[in-house]
Amino acid sequence: MLKKRIIPCLDIKNGRTVKGVNFVNIIDAGDPVELAREYVHQRADELVFLDITATLDKRKTLVELVKKVAAVINIPFTVGGGINSLDDVQAIIQAGADKVSMNSSAVRRPELISEIAQEYGSQFVVVAIDVKFVEGKWMVFTHGGSRATTWEAVSWAKEVERRGAGEILLTSMNNDGTKAGFALEITDAIAKAVNIPVIASGGAGQMEHFKTLFETTAASAGLAASIFHFGEIPIPVLKNYLAEQEIAIRR
């Protein structure tokens, strides 16, 4: 049985780490380089870096900042935001990323998933899927959650796997920043519909939320931001708690 992963996420805006609620009401959460260094110290399993306004602002991911973060960490590092071509991917690789994450660009041109997977391998490709419960269905949204698509969440998850994605980062917009718990039903539905790892994101507020996530869904990892950034739940404390609950966790 694969051990579950705990992953902090650095949402980046104008060179700073930020956090919001339901993808809005953004507040500053600190310097990304210092946070990244601290997460290595806390034994985070991986680190995700998302330039949340790169697509909206139609600019490239902050490559220089990625280099600075990569220089202070020794854990797997996923970078996303404004990645639209193989040239963008090459720049991110050279800056120190281990994986790239795509959302809006994958929906706009699904062939990009296959192109990156063929060039670098599926293990390098993470497709971020932002979903929102709308009129009884979980639907996919792009552009930082601001644009609705016609894709239903499970169907899109199956499509990105078929195209060559090696992992899915699933974020519930309804749960994001609420600290009320993960969106368990859609997380489990997607995790069981595909054969690639699913990272659950959105809603973590207590250690029990991770326990429930891993006990009731097939998610491979739990991702969170503010509870880690502001020291509400130190990662070592969370891992010890989960181990005590007999959940197989990386130590």
Residue positions annotated with a catalytic role: 11, 130
Answer yes or no: are the C-beta atoms of 219 and 183 closer than 8 Å.
Answer: no
Phi, psi of 23 (to 5 degrees): 75, 10
Answer yes or no: are the C-beta atoms of 57 and 23 closer than 8 Å.
Answer: no
Residue 178 DSSP class: T
Helix axes 63-70, 32-41, angle to 10 degrees: 30
Phi, psi of 72 (to 5 degrees): -110, 5
Answer yes or no: are the C-beta atoms of 168 and 127 closer than 8 Å.
Answer: yes
List b or e across 211-231, with b for residues whose CB sees 16 or more CB atoms inside 10 angstroms.
bebbeebbbbbbbbbbbbbee
Amino acid at 137: K
Helix/strand/coil for 35: helix
